[in-house]
Structure 1
Amino acid sequence: MSGMIGDPLITVDHVACRYKVRHGRMRFKSYVALRDVSLVIHRGETIGLIGRNGAGKSTLLHLVSGIILPDGGKVVFHEPASVSLLSLQLGFSPDLSGRDNAIIGAMLLGYSKRESIARLDAITAFAELEDWIDEPLRTYSSGMRARLGFAVAMEMSPDVLLIDETLGVGDESFRKKSTEAMKEKLKSGQTTVFVSHSLLDVQELCSRVVWIDNGRVKMIGVPGEVIPAYCDHVR
């Protein structure tokens, strides 16, 4: 349901990614997380990543965000773009307050300190953290941290928004508010890639779906084609 789809913004070109996993006390074994994955992300589109746990979805988001580098292939940005990754596994600085983390997060997206501070009240209100914003982040639950990160992204509008299972955080009221905020972002042309086990969210929000299976791209297409194929596969 995203707005106008533009030119290619990011190309994931035959990437591979391996991790070293401890095997016994002294040995490590190589685990292949992604194998020969290619994908073009266009400006203004919304892509949903689906697949079983451990398929490589989060690893792909980490590659696009630049947190990790591929062992093979490359990720190419066709023009400069700010990227924000929202993940329950990735936090801000635990010893800083929610206020300071929100300001730093906004500045990392390219906003000045003055602009970041000016948006702070809106960020705090959206995250529903008025009573917690001056507390250190280590006192936050994982859901509270996710709400803060989501609120920063919604208010500050990065060029590319990567969401790893954080769209459904919080209670029912907050989930509904988050989904509605995402819909408005997508109408405005926000480029988004998100991982979700909620096929209803993927069906409703995405213009394309990428099914990843055992580190490989199994299928790419519109939700009405990919989701039924995936459901048949996992039954």
Structure 2
Amino acid sequence: MSEAIIEAEGLGIRFVRNRRRQLRLRELFIHRGTRGADDGRFWPLRDVSFAIAPGETVGVIGRNGTGKSTLLRLIAGVLIPDEGRIRVSGDVAPLLELSAGFSNDLTGRENLYLVGGLHGLSSGYLKRHFDDIVSFAGEQVERAIDTSVRHYSSGMKVRLGFAIISHLPHPILLMDEVTAVGDAEFREKCYTTIDRLLGEGRTLVLVSHNEKDLTRFCRRGLYLDAGRLSVDGTIAEALAAYHDAVPR
């Protein structure tokens, strides 16, 4: 394997469940404000290690609540691990929450420059690719590009978000069920774009419950079970482990 573009070693992160839960006066008196193991802390991911080489296509598989989306956010740098480390050697195009970063007070045009700039794109690059980005987002977005995005539907925001992120030149793609949004025509446009990006040698990490997407785009699979990496093998092996674990 060539030098890893993404490497995790002993990766773990801890969350607090019911952080704002108010204890009753009797509980506070009895427990003196401490509750030991029942303090709401849990580890959505722990002791996870793997390495991904440039150009690999990896599907992350597991039941709901097993840490799949949390893993993507750790790779993206949105979350900071409590244990271990994550090293990413290259810029990341995060196809996660596609309308994240949009300001409702700005127009679509202004948000395009804002979000593109947040991902390191120059105004010159965005000007050169502006027409392509807006055209990709579709006719509805084209007509409303100088309208405040507070008047956009959620679908329009997702289209514009995908159009912006898919034009990033970054070598790493992180995807979280993004092809599940939009109508059939838009999904097919997404598929074609992803195929093109992978053809350019991008590295893909995909979280999805859609087996067709996983087998179409991914060669390798990481199967997470209760926050632990249970299988690191082919996508077929990871899917088989998932099916064995799901009650029938």
Fold conserved between structures, TM > 0.5: yes
Equivalent of residue 131 in structure 2, options 108, 121, 124: 121
- Residues in 2 aligned to 1:132 and 1:91: alpha-carbon distance in whole angstroms: 19
Q: Residues 12-27 of structure 1 correspond to what in structure 2 (within 5 A)?
A: 12-22=8-18, 24-26=21-23
1:71 aligns with 2:68: no
* CA-to-aligned-CA distance 1:72-102 (integer Å, 9 cap, x gap): 001113x4x2112222376123322222222
Q: 1:154 to 1:93 in 2, by over 3 A?
A: closer
Matching residue of 1:109: 119
Gaps of 5+ in 1: none
- Residues in 2 aligned to 1:123 and 1:91: alpha-carbon distance in whole angstroms: 17
Moved more, 62-71 or 124-133: 124-133
Q: 1:37 to 1:123 in 2, by over 3 A?
A: same
One-letter amino acid matched to 1:122? D
Secondary structure of 2:214 counterpart: helix
More strand by share: 1
Secondary structure of 2:18 counterpart: strand
Q: Is the 8 A contact 2:59 2:214 kept in 1?
A: yes
Gaps of 5+ in 2: 24-32, 34-38
- Residues in 1 aligned to 2:4 and 2:182: alpha-carbon distance in whole angstroms: 34
CA RMSD of aligned residues (A): 2.0
Q: Is the 8 A contact 1:65 1:85 kept in 2?
A: yes
More helix by share: 2
- Residues in 1 aligned to 2:152 and 2:64: alpha-carbon distance in whole angstroms: 26
Matching residue of 1:56: 67
Q: Is the 8 A contact 1:103 1:120 kept in 2?
A: no
Moved more, 188-197 or 141-150: 141-150
Secondary structure of 1:130 counterpart: helix
Bigger Cα Rg: 2
Secondary structure of 1:167 counterpart: helix
How does the TM-score come out when normalised to structure 1?
0.89
Q: Is the 8 A contact 2:173 2:203 kept in 1?
A: yes
* CA-to-aligned-CA distance 1:39-91 (integer Å, 9 cap, x gap): 212111111111111110111111111111000001113x4x21122223761
Q: Residues 79-98 of structure 1 correspond to what in structure 2 (within 5 A)?
A: 79=89, 81-88=90-97, 91-95=100-104, 96-98=106-108
- Residues in 1 aligned to 2:244 and 2:57: alpha-carbon distance in whole angstroms: 23
Identity level (%): 37
Q: 1:55 to 1:90 in 2, by over 3 A?
A: farther
Matching residue of 1:197: 209
One-letter amino acid matched to 1:93? F
Secondary structure of 1:39 counterpart: strand
1:229 aligns with 2:241: yes
- Residues in 2 aligned to 1:188 and 1:91: alpha-carbon distance in whole angstroms: 26
1:44 aligns with 2:55: yes
